Chains A and B, each alone.
Chain A
Amino acid sequence: AQSVSQHNHHVILSEAASLELGCNYSYGGTVNLFWYVQYPGQHLQLLLKYFSGDPLVKGIKGFEAEFIKSKFSFNLRKPSVQWSDTAEYFCAVNIDSGYALNFGKGTSLLVTP
């Protein structure tokens, strides 16, 4: 079955640590890839997206993600996290330019001071 997998459900980091959250998908067609963030008590917000071109995409708040087609992966990275990055992070895939986003289960990130 087609799916989006996020490997880490809960991550705890100290401020200034580097972050990498994994995302793999199992679709074989054309994909558009997204990372969304949900801060406590807030709505889902788009961090970054990949449609085509340079596989390394930069988003808001210092986040970036790399699309590796051969690995069906779209991992999210940030070199130095801040306490304010504490949130739930969701990877999402849109296949074949359709309308629906297929989300992973999310990763809860806690950044400690």
Chain B
Amino acid sequence: DTGVSQDPRHKITKRGQNVTFRCDPISEHNRLYWYRQTLGQGPEFLTYFQNEAQLEKSRLLSDRFSAERPKGSFSTLEIQRTEQGDSAMYLCASSLQGSYGYTFGSGTRLTVV
């Protein structure tokens, strides 16, 4: 097991395009989290899954953001109609239920031009 994997590492897109990021958590972890980190800031919580259920999504930044975890394994984060303000590092983390041992991935850096 090599930890939490995120793909792609970097994404450059034109404003208005849709983008999708993938996260593969540690295999035995049933909880998965998405965070966003902008320059000079700490990570900001976006959403959270327990198995395939999205238990918290009210902190997604707008209705252009959505996330899925269809089989309780990998997850995708989609941003529709990207804006320049969406440029950031998008981080995924996973953990076991009842454990606060979050393991973070290396992130996907999004640049919207």
Contacts and interface: CB of A to CB of B under 8 A. Distances in A.
Interface in B25-48: 31, 33, 35, 40-45, 48
B42 A104 contact: yes
A103 interface: yes
A103 B106 contact: no
Contact-size category for A: 20 to 34
- B interface bracket (residues with beta carbon within 8 Å of A): 20 to 34
A45 B43 CA distance: 13
Given A44-B91, A51-B100, A90-B42, A99 B56 contact: yes
Nearest to A6: B42
B48 A101 contact: no
Given A44-B91, A99-B33, A100-B33, A4 B42 contact: yes
A100 B101 contact: no
Contacts of A58: none
A42 B106 contact: yes
Contact of A101 (B45, B56, B105, B106): B45
A94 interface: yes
Nearest to A90: B42
Contact of A103 (B42, B56, B107): B42
Given A101-B35, A103-B44, 11 more contacts: A42-B106, A43-B91, A45-B104, A46-B101, A94-B100, A99-B31, A99-B48, A100-B56, A103-B42, A103-B43, A106-B41
Interface of B: 3-4, 31, 33, 35, 40-45, 48, 55-56, 59, 91, 93, 100-102, 104-107
9 contacts: A4-B42, A34-B100, A43-B104, A44-B91, A90-B42, A90-B43, A99-B33, A105-B40, A106-B42
